[in-house]
């Protein structure tokens, strides 16, 4: 009995030592707290003949810890005639009850979705019918099979988007491009437009680059795109935008047109031109034009009663010129400034001076 008592005391002491060394254990985390957070920013619209969904994949779990494993996002859809509230999104057995699963997307390899910045974009073309309402929910899970709560529902009223605007023209200006186009009169299903449309101007930096909006859609059929770079090519398209039952429908973009803004403002003319004549030589000097983009000056000469001809030039910042191609007689001189634009702009002439060589 004494030996058994000693062994029991030793075991209890070891257990107490183990408990003291390890410290107090935290309670286990409930599985639902380790599931991914719900998608919080699901949006949808009609783009030509498809419904386009966009969202940001969650990066946190329900307990707000960082989610580091691959996230699986499943898209569910239900359709109806558009009357009343759409079907509620109830999670049952890892699915949305009453909804059809139409896609499964992994955040690391999102095909058939595409990544645009931090967002994923999925295009739905499956069995769409004009006049029907399509409601979507995204369900998020992790690699361990834990499923987070459903996203909020978004509903899209599927209708015909507008056809492309006609006769798009892009007129370049100084650091700007002015666009104008004809109003869209037909929808993509061939019917006439009967409701008010807005228009969105799209721009790309090259002929094959992705087009992005210049500004929010507006009702005008003209727009001036300002604050551009001169001597750089810009590519534009215009599309009409229709609103049906709260859904935005983006029409087919027009063919692209290109425009290159140009510097069309000449420098101020040089001032205070002075000419000093001596045997076979005329020395000219002037005050520079104040603009910072002046690249040089052009020298003009004329006989006493004739027209001016260009006889030479200087590069800025030089403001002097020596004319050695003169003989006895009377001459008139004037100077202009030109800038460094791709197509240089030339200023008006300076004051005119007259000299007589002996």
Report the pLDDT averaged over residues 286-296: 96
| Digit-coded pLDDT (tens) for 144-190 | 889 999 999 999 999 999 999 999 999 999 999 999 999 999 999 99
- Tell me the CA distances in angstroms from 208 to 25, 119, 213, 235, 279, one per residue in order: 60, 22, 16, 9, 63
State the average pLDDT for the chain.
90
Identify the band that residue 346 occupies on the pLDDT scale cut at 50, 70 and 90. very high
* Residues 229 and 130 both lie in one domain: no
Section 287-308 average pLDDT: 95
* Six-digit token string for 356: 């007589």
Q: Is residue 330 in a domain? A: yes
Do both 130 and 62 map to the same domain? yes
Q: Which residues contact 116 (CB under 8 A, 6 or more apart)?
A: 54
For residue 342, being part of any structural domain is answered with yes
List all residues 6 or more positions away from 211 whose beta carbon is below 8 Å from its beta carbon. 202, 203, 204, 235, 237, 253, 256
Structural domain range at position 193:
166-241+249-259
Residue finishing a domain among 204, 232, 259 = 259
Per-residue model confidence (pLDDT) at position 208: 92
pLDDT mean over 268-272 = 97
- The answer as to whether 17 is a domain residue is no
**pLDDT(18) > 90:** no
Closest by CA to 291, choosing from 332, 345, 329, 235, is 345
Burial-class residue 347 by CB neighbours within 10 Å (0-12, 13-18, 19+).
buried
150 and 51 both lie in a single domain: yes
Among 32-36, 80-84, 291-295, 320-324, name the one with the lowest average pLDDT.
Answer: 32-36
Give the residue-averaged pLDDT of 18-28.
Answer: 44
Question: Could you identify the residue written with the tokens 């052009």?
Answer: 298
Specify whether 204 is located in the same domain as 254. Answer: yes
What's residue 152's pLDDT?
95
| C-beta separation of 313 from 341 below 8 A | no
Find, among 94, 36, 43, the residue nearest to 66 by Cα.
36
- Does residue 306 sit within a domain? yes
What pLDDT does residue 170 have? Answer: 97
What is the domain count for the chain? 3
Cβ atoms of 55 and 138 within 8 Å: the answer is yes
Q: Let me know whether 236 and 302 are in one domain.
A: no
Determine, yes or no, domain membership for 237.
Answer: yes
Q: Does 319 map to a domain?
A: yes
Same domain, residue pair 133 and 35: yes
Regarding whether 174 and 71 lie in a shared domain, the answer is no
**Residue 89 is part of a domain; what is its CATH number?**
2.60.40.10
pLDDT in tens, 202-248: 999 999 999 999 999 999 999 999 999 999 999 999 999 999 999 99
The per-residue pLDDT for 70 is 67
pTM as predicted = 0.76
Q: Is the pLDDT of residue 24 over 50?
A: no
Residue 264 lies in a domain: no
Q: Which pLDDT score, from 0 to 100, does residue 144 have? A: 86
Q: Do 46 and 147 fall within a single domain?
A: yes
**DSSP per-residue letters across 149-186:** PPPPPEEEE--PPBPPPEEEEEEEETTEEEEEEEPP-B
Q: Is 73 helix (H, G, I), strand (E, B) or coil?
A: strand
Are 188 and 117 within one domain? no
175 within some domain: yes
Residues 136 and 173 grouped into a single domain: no
User: For residue 68, is pLDDT > 90?
Assistant: no
- What is the mean predicted confidence (pLDDT) over 286-313? 96
Distance from first CA to last CA of the chain, Å, rounded? Answer: 143
68 and 143 together in one domain: yes
User: How would you classify the pairing of strands 198-204 and 166-173?
Assistant: unpaired
Q: How far apart are CA 201 and CA 171, in angstroms?
A: 14
**Residue written as token pair 């650091």:** 175
Under the banding of pLDDT at 50, 70 and 90, the label for residue 71 is confident
pLDDT digits (tens, 9 = 90+) for 88-134: 999 999 999 999 999 999 887 889 999 999 999 999 999 999 999 99
Kind of pairing between the strands at 309-315 and 320-323: unpaired
CA–CA dist 140, 120 (Å, integer): 13
| Residues 83 and 200 grouped into a single domain | no
Q: Is the pLDDT of residue 60 over 70?
A: yes
Nearest to 241 by CA among 251, 252, 228, 253: 251
């Amino acid at each position: 009995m004494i030996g058994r008592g000693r062994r029991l005391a030793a075991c209890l002491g070891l257990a107490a030592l183990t408990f003291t060394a390890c410290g107090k254990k935290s309670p286990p985390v409930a599985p639902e707290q380790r599931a991914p957070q719900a998608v919080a920013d699901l949006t949808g619209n009609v783009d030509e003949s498809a419904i386009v969904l966009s969202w940001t994949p969650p990066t946190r779990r329900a307990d707000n810890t960082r989610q580091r494993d691959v996230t699986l996002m499943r898209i569910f859809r239900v359709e109806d005639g558009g009357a009343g509230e759409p079907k509620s999104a109830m999670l049952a057995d890892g699915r949305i009850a009453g909804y059809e699963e139409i896609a499964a997307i992994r955040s690391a390899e999102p095909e058939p979705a595409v990544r645009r910045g931090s967002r994923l974009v999925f295009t739905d073309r499956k069995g769409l019918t004009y006049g029907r309402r399509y409601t979507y929910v995204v369900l998020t899970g992790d690699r361990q099979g834990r499923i987070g709560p459903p996203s909020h529902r978004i509903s899209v009223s599927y209708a015909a988007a507008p056809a492309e605007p006609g006769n798009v023209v892009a007129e370049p200006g100084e650091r700007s491009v002015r666009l104008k186009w004809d109003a869209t009169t037909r929808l993509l299903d061939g019917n006439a437009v009967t409701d008010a449309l807005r228009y969105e101007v799209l721009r790309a930096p090259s002929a094959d680059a992705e087009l992005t909006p210049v500004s929010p859609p507006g009702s005008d059929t003209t727009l001036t795109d300002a604050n551009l770079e001169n001597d750089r090519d810009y590519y534009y398209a215009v599309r009409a935008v229709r609103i049906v039952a709260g859904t935005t429908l983006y029409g087919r973009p027009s063919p692209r047109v290109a425009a290159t803004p140009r510097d069309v403002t000449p420098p101020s003319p040089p001032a205070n031109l002075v000419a000093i004549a001596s045997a076979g030589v005329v020395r000219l000097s002037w005050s520079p034009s104040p603009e910072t983009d002046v690249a040089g000056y052009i020298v003009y000469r004329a006989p006493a009663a004739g027209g001016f001809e260009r006889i030479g030039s200087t590069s800025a910042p030089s403001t002097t010129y020596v004319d050695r191609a003169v003989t006895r007689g009377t001459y008139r001189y004037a100077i202009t400034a030109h800038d460094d634009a791709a197509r240089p702009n030339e200023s008006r002439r300076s004051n005119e001076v007259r000299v007589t060589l002996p």
